[in-house]
Structure 1
């Protein structure tokens, strides 16, 4: 099976813990159904999410996210075929701290527009490595 990976960022609208819990619950349920794995790095000023799985299912998930009014300014950073899953054991790994990605000042300075594919994937590689070390 061909695997497809997408990494996008968005700004949360109406961010609070109940909204985040709802997103995580819906994502895990849909991802298990659709054979999608991934991770979500989030805080009140940014969502950064990696999704991987069958191409059609990953693209369908992103289309749902783009229609979800809890996400504003959805930007695609990575869209490619991959040979292996980065988050094969997680329907949706969640990092609630995300202190090691961009700062609020960098986001305000539009760092997201300048981010490279390698930089964005690097955040998720670090997250995976830290989760596997626990």
Structure 2
């Protein structure tokens, strides 16, 4: 079955640890069920999520997230078929990337809406490399 990748950003509504833990628990459970892998970079002012798996399942997940009131101003950055998974061992890798993505001021100014897909993809490639280097 062909693989599909989607990367979106959204702003958290009412960010707190309990809400984030709920999102991660639900995402991991649903992703394992649906054959989706990926990663979530989150902070109190932005979520960036990478999803990969069967196209219909990834699109269903995006639609579910779009309806979820814990996410506002959702924007799709990447939606494309791919040859292989990048986060194949992770139902949902979580990383609170505080220092190497946009500043809070940039997020408030709308940088997510202005960013090229390559920039957003680059954040996740850096995360993948960090995780792989930590395992070595």
**What TM-score comes out, normalization by structure 1 length?**
0.98
What is aligned with 1:109? 109
How does 1:40-119 map onto structure 2 within 5 Å? 40-119=40-119
Distance 1:117 1:52 in 2: 15
Distance 2:25 2:48 in 1: 17
**What TM-score comes out, normalization by structure 2 length?**
0.96
* SS of equivalent to 1:8: strand
Moved more, 87-96 or 106-115: 106-115
Number of aligned residue pairs: 134
What is aligned with 1:9? 9
Shift of 1:109: 1.7
Moved runs in structure 1, 4+ residues, more than 4 A?
Answer: none
Shift of 1:57: 0.2
Moved more, 92-101 or 56-65: 92-101
What is aligned with 2:26? 26
* Pairwise CA RMSD: 0.7
List runs of 5+ in structure 2 lacking aligned partners.
none
Distance 2:61 2:42 in 1: 18
Shift of 1:46: 0.2
